[in-house]
Amino acid sequence: NAGVTQTPKFQVLKTGQSMTLQCAQDMNHEYMSWYRQDPGMGLRLIHYSVGAGITDQGEVPNGYNVSRSTTEDFPLRLLSAAPSQTSVYFCASSVTGENTEAFFGQGTRLTVV
């Protein structure tokens, strides 16, 4: 039962570097999303996708790009990392995205120095 798999679990980046956080799900869910968790802020939605080829912005999209070429994969790209992007990132998937429970990955702890 893989569910939602995120890689890597930990990452340290230097300011200005780029990287891709990987997310894959094996539940054939149409809806996938990326959140960041910061102390006192809860989880904030970065980007989401309602199906392959369709993506949209969430609450805090600046500095991040996404694509959805397959149902299974939803990578998150940091184009030029900034210290403000230090956070824990969670990928989630659900059947439809509305009124259904989300399944989360274990998270990626990112530090930008």
Partner 1 sequence: DQQVKQNSPSLSVQEGRISILNCDYTNSMFDYFLWYKKYPAEGPTFLISISSIKDKNEDGRFTVFLNKSAKHLSLHIVPSQPGDSAVYFCAASPEGRFGAGTRLTVKP
Site of interaction with partner 1 (CB under 8 A) = 4, 33, 35, 40-45, 48, 58-59, 90, 92, 97-99, 101-107
Nearest approach in angstroms of CB 35 to partner 1 is 7
Nearer to partner 1, 28 or 99 (CB): 99
Task: Report whether 81 contacts 112 (CB < 8 A).
Answer: yes
Task: Report whether 6 contacts 104 (CB < 8 A).
Answer: no
- Cα dihedral across residues 91, 3, 103, 111: positive or negative: negative
Cβ neighbours of residue 27 under 8 Å, at least 6 residues apart? 3, 4, 93, 103
Nearer to partner 1, 14 or 42 (CB): 42
Nearer to partner 1, 45 or 52 (CB): 45
* Spatial separation of the C-alpha atoms in residues 5 and 106, rounded to whole Å: 7
Nearest approach in angstroms of CB 56 to partner 1 is 11
Nearest approach in angstroms of CB 80 to partner 1 is 26
Nearest approach in angstroms of CB 101 to partner 1 is 4
